[in-house]
Each structure stands twice: as structure tokens, then as C-alpha cells.
């Protein structure tokens, strides 16, 4: 049986430099599982999408994103709407999307997983013209994403998420937002709003426990005017997925989310943070092929 041609796109900075260390042996390591793999590295941030698009033109049947959720998001931007499948080699700090697809945490098992995985079509989100896989939002989640990057440099990625969340809750206050979900408007101070395609973000936070990757809708989580104590309680509950109470924290299913802000705030898409004065988010049903369990 002919082996599928695969291109591994490696983020050399992922995993505090683990990506760069993997490059010399990655093709041979994955070859032990029967995979035929060529390997390239991303020369700069944002280049993975271009490399993935070129892989489609060159006839590769699958592209392996070697990095974290941000790398997977970049590669997906080059594959969306094609038949070329996205596979993952998770070495990032959060790896929430790989968790949703059932990938093993141990790197030595990833090759065998990819070799035996099945192709499935999933939804993706589009936020301000860019594809995301897992979740995108604005408010405390974007603010925390900034704090996590800073904390992870000091205490490591796992503890960095918790430290970043605690620092964020201690210093962030709800901000004025105009939120439109499928035409229905909510206006006032909000702690956060996030359109979730997957169940987890923030390295294991079960923010949208009922979300499904292929149901054609987002689970949109809206946090209202929460104080610090209520935010701490919600943080304790979010890892179990019991934070949605129908009052201060809502879960609304929808296909579109617009957020208008009176001034710039930090947003996040698949854990990548940037400043914005508004979000335009839409679902793209079954627009991406992935390899999953």
C-alpha cells in the first residue's frame, strides 16, 4: 500500500526550543511508524501558513504541525478548504487542540497515532479574516494570554497558565462591550466573551464542556460583570467545566459573534494574543480535514 506523502512544518521555537532539537531526527523517528515525511522549519512567525499552502500545491496529502496550538492554527490557515489533512505533533505549552483530537501526550507515541488515525472533517472559526481552530475571544482570556506568556518564562508552561490566570483575575476588571450573537445584542461591562469550537483552552481549562468540533456552531461563553471573588470561584470551577451558571456566565450556541469595543483590548485566538478594537467571528462548517482518533 502506498504511503501518504507528509510534510512536517516545525516551529523551532516551540517547547522552549524543543522544535529545533527535533529537526535532525524527526523524519527518521516518524518513519519508524511507517510515515514518509519531509521536514521544513518556519523561518519566521506567520510563515507556517504559506508553507502549508505550498504543500497543498506540491501534492502532499497531509501536513504535520510540529509545535503548539498557535503553530497548528497557522498551518490550518494554509490548509482550510482543501483536501490536505492536518496532523499534529504537539510540543507546545497548552496543546488544547491536540487534546480535543485525542493525540497522546508522549512524543514517542505520536508517530504511531498519526499512522493509524482517521481523517475527519471539522469546523473552523474565522476571526477578523484569520482561521482559528479551538477558541477566540476578548476580555480576561486575552489579558491572561499575555500574562501567561510572561509567567511561563519564569515558572514554566504548566504552572504559567495558573499563575497567569491568578494575576489576570487580580488585576483585570470587566470592560464595556457591545456583543452581538446571531443578531441578538448584549451591551454593558463584561469580563470576557469567547467563541469556542473545542472544549478546552488555557492548558486544560474546560471552558466549553459541551462544544463539538463538527456540529456547525460555536459554544459562545459570555462572562458578565464579575468581581474578583466571583472570578476566582469561576476559575476553580472552569477546570471541571461547571462554571456556566446561566446568570453571570452564559453558554450560547451560535454561528456568528461580533464584539465592538470603545477602546483597544487584548484578544486571543488559540492562545495567541494581540490588541484589537473589535472582533468579527464566523463559523466555517466542516472546512478542514484533520487526522484524529
Characterize 64-86 residue by residue with b for buried, 16 or more Cβ atoms within 10 angstroms of its Cβ, and e for exposed. Answer: bbbbbbbbbbbbbbbbbebebbb
Please give the backbone phi and psi of residue 146, each rounded to the nearest 5 degrees, phi first: -65, -45
Residue-wise pLDDT for 128-166, tens only, equals 999 999 999 999 888 887 777 766 667 666 677 677 778
Interatomic CA distance for residues 199 and 221, integer angstroms: 11
As a whole number of Å, the CA-based R_g of the chain is 19
CA distance 283 to 287: 9
- Of 78, 144, 131, the C-alpha closest to 281 is 131
* Average pLDDT estimate for 109-138: 97
**Residue written as cell 463538527?**
214
DSSP 7-54: EEEE-TTHHHHHHHHHHHHHHHHHHTTT-EEEEEE-SSTTHHHHHHHH
Specify burial of residue 151 (Cβ count, 10 A radius: 0-12, 13-18, 19+).
buried
Is the distance from CB of 125 to CB of 195 less than 8 angstroms? yes
Using pLDDT thresholds of 50, 70 and 90, give the confidence band for residue 42.
very high
**pLDDT score of 2 more than 60:** no
Q: What is the pLDDT of residues 233-291, one digit of tens each?
A: 998 899 899 999 999 999 999 999 999 999 999 999 998 889 999 999 999 999 999 99
pLDDT recorded at residue 90? 96
**Closest C-alpha among 220, 14, 9 to residue 127:** 220
Residue 89: name the closest of 76, 73, 74, 72 by CA.
72
93 pLDDT more than 80: no
Q: Where does residue 177 rank: exposed (0-12), middle (13-18), buried (19+ CB within 10 A)? A: buried
Say if residue 1's pLDDT is above 50. Answer: no
Q: What is the pLDDT of residue 162?
A: 72
Query: CA–CA separation, 111 vs 29, rounded Å?
Result: 8
- Tens digits of per-residue pLDDT, 242-256? 999 999 999 999 999
pLDDT digits (tens, 9 = 90+) for 165-224: 788 778 889 999 999 999 999 999 999 999 999 999 877 889 999 999 999 999 999 999
Does the pTM surpass 0.75? The reply is yes
Cα angle for residues 46, 31, 293 (degrees, 5° grid): 70
**Strand, helix or coil at 290?**
strand
User: In the structure, what pLDDT confidence band is assigned to residue 102 with cuts at 50, 70 and 90?
Assistant: very high
Maximum pairwise Cα distance, the chain: 60
The structural domains of the chain, ordered by start, are 5-116 (3.40.50.10330), 135-283 (2.60.200.40)
Nearest to 217 by CA among 257, 247, 165, 187: 257
SS3 state at 6:
strand
When comparing pLDDT for 15 and 27, which is higher? Answer: 27
* Greater model confidence, 36 or 145: 36
Residue 72 CA to residue 57 CA, distance in Å, equals 19
Residue 78 has pLDDT above 80, yes or no: yes
Amino acid at each position: 500500500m502506498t504511503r501518504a506523502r507528509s510534510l512536517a512544518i516545525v516551529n523551532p521555537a516551540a517547547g522552549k526550543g524543543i522544535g529545533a532539537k527535533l529537526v535532525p531526527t524527526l523524519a527518521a523517528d516518524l518513519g519508524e511508524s511507517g510515515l514518509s515525511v519531509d521536514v521544513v522549519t518556519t523561518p519566521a512567525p506567520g510563515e507556517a501558513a504559506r508553507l502549508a499552502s505550498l504543500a497543498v500545491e506540491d501534492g502532499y496529502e497531509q501536513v504535520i504541525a510540529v509545535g503548539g496550538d498557535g503553530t497548528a492554527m497557522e498551518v490550518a490557515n494554509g490548509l482550510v478548504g482543501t483536501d490536505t489533512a492536518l496532523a499534529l505533533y504537539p510540543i507546545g505549552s497548552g496543546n488544547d487542540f491536540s487534546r480535543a483530537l485525542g493525540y497522546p501526550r508522549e512524543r514517542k507515541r505520536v508517530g504511531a497515532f498519526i499512522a493509524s488515525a482517521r481523517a475527519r472533517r471539522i469546523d473552523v472559526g474565522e476571526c477578523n479574516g484569520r482561521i482559528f481552530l479551538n477558541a477566540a475571544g476578548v476580555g480576561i482570556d486575552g489579558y491572561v494570554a499575555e500574562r501567561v506568556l510572561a509567567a511561563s518564562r519564569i515558572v514554566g508552561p504548566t504552572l504559567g497558565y495558573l499563575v497567569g490566570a491568578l494575576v489576570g483575575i487580580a488585576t483585570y476588571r470587566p470592560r464595556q462591550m457591545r456583543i452581538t450573537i446571531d443578531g441578538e445584542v448584549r451591551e454593558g461591562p463584561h469580563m470576557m466573551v469567547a467563541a469556542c469550537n473545542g472544549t478546552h483552552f488555557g492548558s486544560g481549562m474546560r471552558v466549553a464542556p459541551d462544544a463539538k468540533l463538527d456540529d456547525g456552531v460555536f459554544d459562545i461563553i459570555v462572562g458578565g460583570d464579575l468581581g474578583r471573588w466571583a472570578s476566582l470561584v469561576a476559575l476553580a470551577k472552569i477546570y471541571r467545566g461547571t462554571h456556566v451558571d446561566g446568570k453571570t456566565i452564559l453558554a450560547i450556541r451560535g454561528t456568528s459573534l461580533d464584539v465592538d469595543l470603545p477602546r483597544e483590548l487584548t484578544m486571543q485566538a488559540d492562545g495567541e494574543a494581540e490588541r484589537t478594537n473589535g472582533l468579527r467571528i464566523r463559523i466555517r462548517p466542516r472546512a478542514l480535514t484533520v487526522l484524529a482518533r
